[in-house]
A and B are shown apart, each in its own frame.
Chain A
Amino acid sequence: MNNKVGQLLIATLGFFWCFLLWFSTAAFSPSIALKFNLTTEQLGILASSAIWMAPIGRIVAGWASDRFGAPKTFAVILIGTGLVSIHSAFVEDYSILFIERVIVAAAGVSFVVGIQHVAQWFEEYEMGTAEGLYAGTGNVGAGVGALMLPRIYGTNYSDAFLHLGIIALIIGGFYLWKGIPAKTLQRAAVARKSATFRDTVFVWTRWTAIALMLAYAMSFGLEIAMNAWLPGYYAEGFKEAISKLGFAGAEQIQIAAGTFAAVQSFNASLFRPFAGYMSDLWQRKGWTPFPYIAKNLSYAPRIHWLMMALLLITVMMVLLTLAGLFGLLHLSVVVLAVFGICVSFGTGGTFAIVPLIFKNRPGIATGFIGGVSTVGGIVYPLIFGFSKNIHMGYAYVALFIFVPIILFYIWSMRYEIHPEEHGLGSKEYWLGGKA
């Protein structure tokens, strides 16, 4: 376990289990609703609470992984949420259960810790594949939870929460025992020294960090938004078409609508390692097809690959609107499957770049980019929901949010030398003479 593959496996295992914990509440929400007689509104709040801790939590976790090292930070998250999960198995009061499950959902912040851990071990030329394998394989924990937990435990969520918590404690202990913060002591020391308030503000004010955060909001933020939005969209927007397929009644239509939504999420997770590999491939081939964006940086092809992903996501959003307006269900779901793949290009492409631009501050940068971007998961469904025509929301978001983000991305990625030094205030202003 003292080599980089061993560290990648530990990080991936920890992340996988954290994602199981994160989405275990959702997997049992019908059982919880039945036991506590929850209203539809209460059920909605319970579902949305899963991402409440993500923005702030990921920022703090990213900083902590630089300051204390990923193994200690990951162990605290696993053991802390594991203990709360165990206690929640014995709770009889819904208010306490709700609060405890919000705390357990904080396990999702571990994403940024593992990204930092992997970045501290792998070299530039293999970063895309390594980060992609970590994030993509770990993400599968969410899908496995949704599919397997209700099958194994039925409606007995208490046993599930208990067992998930106990295993989290074991993995947390193992992570602490076998995890090593970085490939070299020097690399770990550089990150530790950079975990200051001034370094944090420096990263947050860089144009490149803001552009990558927005790119991640366009991909991962959109992915979690679509997870919440799509079942309702297909049930409402294609009700007649789904009925014609043979699904009768609200429950049956919900199954079909949920299927389309799940396929998007599944593709977005499982294609993510491939997206990282493609970033490595573009880097290896030296492909830089887009004008204006930097071409001579050591990682320039990766920036161009992400640009390609952002364009594809935008095109897919417009196609979703067109398929909806013409009432073409089959076309819509095929576009949705491709859309999930394009989203993975964005998520995998972003984190193939972040550790390279912010080499000395990987945790802080990852926390900012991976944390703030999750706000997209709240904003997009609101825009979709408030659109007069249910199909038009995708086009509105594409044209009025994504196109400006892409233009900002192009503008901020134009620097051929040290792009990370450009932003609000100079590097000297924030950091003095520090590297």
Chain B
Amino acid sequence: MGRMSKTLLAMIVDIVRWEEKILLKAAEIMGLNLSLVNLRSRFISLTEPPGNAKVYLIRAVSRTTAVTSALVIESFGAVTINSPRALQATGDKAAMIALLASRGVPVPRSYLALGKETALMAAEALGFPVVLKPVSGGWGMLSAKAGSPEELEQLLELKEAIPSPTSRLHVIQEYIEAGGSDYRVLVVGGEAVAAMKRSAVRGWKANVSRGALVEPISPRGEIEELAVRASEALGAEVAGVDIIDGDGDMRVLEVNGVPEFRGLREATGVPVERYILSYARENARR
């Protein structure tokens, strides 16, 4: 077919991590034409279609880059996975919690507060301990548990000293005791394809990037139902859903719109990358 052949799939990145490499390798094995578009080394047009792919997997580490590139690509009629709206919703913890709650998905009680004094008032309304979170950011960074007003005040002062437009915007959330464990479920196209239990080695944050111990679990039952509902509530076709079990009371902590999945892949052996590519291929055929 030469120059006339249509590239079906493309992947937008800003760096290439383990996940993007395994997606490239899997595409090769599956006979898919997946082109890599690295925005750090290649510019894309804003005035004509940026490429000839029908479906673009958005895998940028930067949330801003992910949302902006998806908006640009979608403007010219191509499909992005995830959609710009899903990326926006999953990239902002405050908006994400509100969207989930408004759609009936159980989440921890949470408040949005601007500035230290207001954040302290929100924490008093919740009752200590509370969790302080930034509106954006992953890997558990800048999230902290405060057991008292004094602790929270210190944390707020540190966070607000960071030169960032969002450093004074705080999510204050009730702390749910779950023994330092939570669940990560990967949802692809409305199906929970793999799940694991993550247990913090120390402290309460169970992020894989923090060395959490992981064990595979069945992505079925209540966990599946909750993960699928959460991803659908945000319109996220590929989503990493974090769920906490507070003594039988399951709630969604976060939905990740560009999920890393190395830990999940290694814990479960489920070929997550193939599910993602198969789903993208089905979308390209529509």
Q: Do A and B come from one complex?
A: no
